[in-house]
Structure 1
């Protein structure tokens, strides 16, 4: 993708990353730390995080296209190099968002064997006599899980990793955005009002 509505696509797509990646990071932290939020937000955030991962290479490819169509400066090169790091912070956010969602899904579907359903009862012959019988019970079996949704240790590890990944993503978006603003605007405006300008 190169242009949108006559403008370089990068300058439009970058706004989606600047908004959506920090939003996905915030939702990741909320869903990792707060069970009530996890139940409501884990699924939507998993989808949002995957969308961000898909948008990042589209945005950086559009940025590479634009880089070859503007004057090369150290600020432009620095911004391009920083932009390439966005995928490295978006992927951990998405992986952890998927893990949080999957663990929530498993937790919702897994019930202790004693609570899942009434035990199956069957009548068997009793050695006490031909007319005597007793009830035999077969305990219910809990569903199989893969990401230990009931484990406090795993929950804490996922929460710590989520906070770290979210913090790294937000900081990286800040650095990339700041370098882009520097590349676009440094030396491109007057510190004093120009004659004929608005209010001049």
Structure 2
């Protein structure tokens, strides 16, 4: 799939729209991962986090591709270069977070025998499932805590990329009060 194929939607540059996928989904995934430390909601929170991280990663890839197309149409600046670098990094952080969120989900489901289809999963999942059954509840919580920290870092990097993009776009814009209200 060519991420640059999504450089516009209905004639509008798609980058400002696509960036909202990682901006929303990565922090939501991080919050769900933290919430999964609570055993009563662990299964549903881990599923939600895994789905959100995959969506955030796909969104980051699409946003980067559409951003590269848009980059050639705007004036180059140091702010734009910084944003481009940070945006490229988000793909890596979101990708690592997605993989680890899925691993945490597989570990949890394997421990609870809620993963009967583990034998048909990838070779990695086949190796994780037997090991996961041997983990204590504390070890599973430690894995989830570690993945939560990775999620916090991924969220921070996503914020930094978004903030740098906003600065690149709006740094020369002067806001005036034109609403006709009291000054």
| TM-score, normalised via structure 1 length | 0.73
Helix, strand or coil for the counterpart of 1:102? Answer: helix
Contact 1:106 1:149 in 2 (8 A): no
Residue number among 79, 83, 86 corresponding to 1:79 in the alignment: 83
Q: Which sections of structure 2, spanning at least 5 residues, go unmatched?
A: 1-5, 115-128
User: Which structure has greater strand proportion?
Assistant: 1
Residue deviations 1:34-76 (CA, integer Å, cap 9, x gap)? 1112122222322222222222111101001101100111111
Q: Which sections of structure 1, spanning at least 5 residues, go unmatched?
A: 111-143
Helix, strand or coil for the counterpart of 2:130? Answer: coil
Relative to structure 1, is the Cα distance of residues 2 and 149 closer, same or farther in structure 2, using a 3 angstrom cutoff?
farther
Measured in 1, the distance between the counterparts of 2:179 and 2:165 equals 26
Helix, strand or coil for the counterpart of 1:49? Answer: helix
Task: Give the number of equivalent residue pairs.
Answer: 162
Contact 1:46 1:101 in 2 (8 A): yes
User: Which structure has greater helix proportion?
Assistant: 2
Alpha-carbon deviation of 1:198?
A: 3.0
Matched, 1:198 2:179: yes
Per the alignment, residue 5 of structure 1 pairs with 10
Relative to structure 1, is the Cα distance of residues 183 and 108 closer, same or farther in structure 2, using a 3 angstrom cutoff?
same
Residue number among 29, 33, 55 corresponding to 1:28 in the alignment: 33
Rg bigger for which structure? Answer: 1
Contact 1:148 1:154 in 2 (8 A): no
Residue number among 174, 183, 190 corresponding to 2:168 in the alignment: 183
Per the alignment, residue 21 of structure 2 pairs with 16
Helix, strand or coil for the counterpart of 1:109? Answer: coil
Matched, 1:39 2:43: yes
Per the alignment, residue 139 of structure 1 pairs with none
Between stretches 37-46 and 11-20, larger displacement belongs to: 37-46
Contact 2:21 2:55 in 1 (8 A): no
